[in-house]
Structure 1
Amino acid sequence: MPALDPRSTALVLVDLMERIVALPLAPRSGADVVDAAHRLADAFRAAGAPVVHIRVERPHVDVQPPGSELVPSLVREGEPVVVKRTIGGFQGTGLHELLSGLGVTTVVFAGIATNLGVESTARAAVDHGYEAVFAEDAMTAFTAEEHRASVELDFPRLGTVAPVSALTLDGPA
């Protein structure tokens, strides 16, 4: 895979919240996904590329369930956090305006669940004209079969699927 341009590429981390990361997941654990997301985020930050976090809130409730905050070690001061109330991260969140304002044309996706929040957000991104890249080993689902269906059947139709180790950026922006 060719190197990504840090001036026009953003990393979007979907629903890496404490309560979601702690769920029984497959084909990899939430902790493994967080580790991979750390590696990706560190590489993006080092290259001067934006890291955007998305978290879900349940609509129509006064208090969110315990563990609804993002994994604290993933978020750096000043990084945007987008709050969604739907499965995908674009509907009513300002994510498109944020990304386009940053000059982003390519989005690298990671997070949980592969076939829900990640895929829904990626489909909307492609509909908005973004190039999509999927960090396969930085995502997981509730079952290995759900993950595999997205990664093998859907994502190749939407963009490029690659392991974290294959995703490189051109260097400092």
Structure 2
Amino acid sequence: MRTLDHGRTALVLIDLMDRIVDLPVEPRPGRAVLEASLALATDFRAVGAPVVAVRVERPGVEVQPPGSDLVASVAEIADEVVVKRSIGGFHGTDLDDLLRERGVDTLVLTGIATNLGVESTARSAVDLGYSVVFVEDAMAALTAQEHRAPVELSFPRLGEVTALADLVWGPAN
């Protein structure tokens, strides 16, 4: 069980955009990642903890590809939306400022792709001093191997890997 402090924890949803969620990803379909992420977002909102959605736009491209917006249900539940133009959610964005303004020191990460957007965001988060919790069953990558490698090798060194069912909220401060 991983106990979360709702006053200091934010959920960060990585690249839950229609065109990415609909890719053939593993070890679970993108729609399963979306459903798990939305369930977690609902729990965060219920206790007043922030939900931040991060989406990517290609730099220098005037018209983004179809499906580049967040999935509508993600856009609706997010307190903040951050647009990135690189792999990770921190570089060149105001993500760190948004989190610090809210007193956040712990991030719970979900999204697609495990080995790209999620891992890059996590590495920057750790460099910036955040604690990181990875919800393994709310992530996927283009192949099962690309998902497993960071989950088994990198993530345990960067933070804590857990399952959605093992997250619980601590008492209110």
TM-score normalised to structure 2 length = 0.97
* 1:64-109 Cα deviation digits (max 9, x unpaired): 0000010111233671000000000101101111111110000000
- Aligned CA RMSD, in angstroms, stands at 1.2
Aligned to 1:102: 102
- State the 1:17 CA deviation: 0.2
Aligned to 1:39: 39
Whole-angstrom distance in 1 between the partners of 2:116 and 2:78: 27
* 1:117-165 Cα deviation digits (max 9, x unpaired): 0000000000000000000000000000010001000000000000000
Aligned to 1:117: 117
* Identity level (%): 61
Q: Aligned to 2:45, what secondary structure does the other structure show?
A: helix
Q: Which amino acid in 2 is paired with 1:137?
A: D
* 1:26-58 Cα deviation digits (max 9, x unpaired): 011000001100110011011110000000000
CA contact (8 A) 2:10 2:49 kept: yes
- State the 1:171 CA deviation: 5.6
Query: Does 2:165 align with 1:147?
Result: no
Aligned to 2:81: 81
CA contact (8 A) 1:114 1:147 kept: yes
Whole-angstrom distance in 2 between the partners of 1:32 and 1:171: 29
In the alignment, structure 1 segments of 5+ residues that lack a partner are none
TM-score normalised to structure 1 length = 0.97
In the alignment, structure 2 segments of 5+ residues that lack a partner are none
User: 1:131-142 alignment to 2 at 5 Å?
Assistant: 131-142=131-142
Q: Aligned to 1:88, what secondary structure does the other structure show?
A: coil
Structure 1 stretches of 4+ with a deviation exceeding 6 A read none
- State the 1:2 CA deviation: 3.6
CA contact (8 A) 2:19 2:66 kept: yes
**Aligned pairs, how many?**
173
